[in-house]
């Protein structure tokens, strides 16, 4: 994928500047792009801007050389081509796992119920949830909920899958079960951008790593470069601290 960002800023209030004049361009052969960096650095904000969930205060975003149109209707149709998964609370609690996946397929993508159901069940099966299709989110574990969320985000075969710390709210065992699924998606050739605090996973899965701190991009590099030979001392300090334990 080719993502380019020019002079991108997101300023919520004078006192909360989430992103300040961000510039970067991914390598053309990057399929999995990973954001790392300290909390509050702007990872979620940048993901939301890239996915068209929010509009920047200033600046431009290009996906495969096409500028992202920030007007309401084009932005919504852009969102519909992507898949998203946040840290938690992705699912609708009043709908079953199956219904959660059917809703966008039928109401957004205009599939017939029969087709949508076939797609949704196949997706649930793919992520090991075949026995849980009739359960509501309240009856599923955190890891299962995230996997249903992934099945929903993948059901319409998104061009780009955007995951914002998808395992941060999970305990270690469930982290592993969700990371395995994401690993499989990475291997299947799916274009993915995700933010994570799992450095081992970032190193293994990423084609390219983007380091964000205090609203600016400190580096875009291959995982090898970032983890073995960071260009900025602030990255070295951060990695030292999070890898220590």
Partner 1 sequence: MNGSSSTSSKFAFVSWIVGFSILGFLYFLFWTLASHDYNWKAIQPYQSNMLKGWGMTLLISAIAAGISILLGAILTAAQLASVKMTRLLARGYIELIRGTPLITQIVIGYYVFSVALEEKILILFSVRVEFAPFWVGIVILSAFSAAYLSEIFRGGIESIGKTQWESGRAIGLSDFQIYRFVVIPQAIRRVLPASAGLFADLVKNSSLLYIIAVHEFFMQTRGAVANSYASIEGYIPLAIGYLIITLPISLISRKLEARFKYEH
Positions in the binding site for partner 1 (CB under 8 A): 51, 53, 76-77, 79-80, 84, 86, 88-94, 103-104, 107-109, 136, 138-139, 152-153
Select from ligand ADP, Mg ion, partner 1, none the partner in contact with residue 16, using the beta carbon and a kind-dependent cut-off of 5 to 8 Å.
ligand ADP
Task: Characterize the bridge pairing of strands 3-13 and 58-63.
Answer: antiparallel
Q: Is 156 exposed, middle or buried (0-12, 13-18, 19+ CB in 10 A)?
A: buried
Question: Measured between alpha carbons, how far is residue 169 from residues 142, 154, 174, 196 in Å?
Answer: 8, 21, 10, 11
Number of neighbours of residue 245 by Cβ within 10 angstroms: 4
Closest to ligand ADP by CB, 16 or 115: 16
CA 141 to chain centre: 21
Distance of closest approach, residue 162 Cβ to ligand ADP, in angstroms = 13
Interaction of residue 90 with Mg ion, rule CB under 5 A: no
Beta bridge partners of 162: 84, 193
CB of 47 to Mg ion, least distance (A): 8
d(CA 125, CA 127): 5
Q: Name the residues that contact ligand ADP, by CB under 6 A.
A: 12, 16, 18, 39-45
Determine, following the binding rule CB under 5 A, whether residue 45 of this chain makes contact with Mg ion. Answer: no
Bridge partners of 209, per DSSP, are 34, 221
Cβ at position 79, least distance to ligand ADP in Å:
17
Min CB(139)–partner 1 separation in Å: 8
Q: How far is the CB of 43 from ligand ADP (least distance, A)?
A: 3
Which residue from 44, 82, 111, 146 is in contact with Mg ion, where contact means CB under 5 A?
44
Q: Measured from the CB atom, is 42 or 143 closer to ligand ADP?
A: 42
Q: List Cα–Cα distances, 88 to 82, 173, 194, in angstroms.
A: 18, 16, 14
């Amino acid at each position: 994928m080719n993502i380019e960002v020019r002079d991108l800023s997101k300023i919520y209030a004078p006192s909360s500047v989430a992103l300040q004049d961000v510039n970067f361009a991914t390598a053309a052969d990057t399929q999995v792009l990973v954001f790392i960096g300290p909390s509050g650095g702007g990872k979620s904000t940048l993901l939301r801007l890239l996915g068209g969930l929010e509009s920047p205060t200033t600046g431009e975003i290009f996906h495969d050389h096409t500028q992202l149109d920030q007007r309401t209707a084009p932005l919504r149709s852009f969102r519909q081509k992507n898949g998203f998964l946040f840290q938690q609370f992705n699912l609708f609690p009043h709908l079953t796992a199956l219904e959660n996946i059917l809703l966008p397929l039928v109401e957004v993508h205009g599939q017939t119920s029969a087709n949508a159901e076939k797609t949704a069940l196949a997706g649930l099966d793919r992520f090991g949830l075949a026995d849980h299709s009739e359960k509501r989110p309240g009856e599923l574990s955190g890891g299962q909920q995230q996997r249903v969320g992934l099945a929903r985000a993948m059901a319409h075969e998104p061009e780009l899958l955007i995951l914002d710390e998808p395992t941060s709210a999970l305990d270690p065992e469930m982290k592993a079960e969700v990371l395995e699924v994401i690993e499989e998606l990475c291997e299947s050739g799916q274009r993915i951008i995700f933010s994570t605090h799992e450095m081992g996973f970032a190193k293994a899965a990423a084609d390219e790593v983007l380091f964000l701190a205090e609203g600016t991009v400190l580096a875009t590099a291959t995982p090898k470069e970032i983890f073995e030979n960071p260009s900025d001392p602030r990255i070295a300090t951060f990695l030292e601290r999070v890898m220590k334990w």
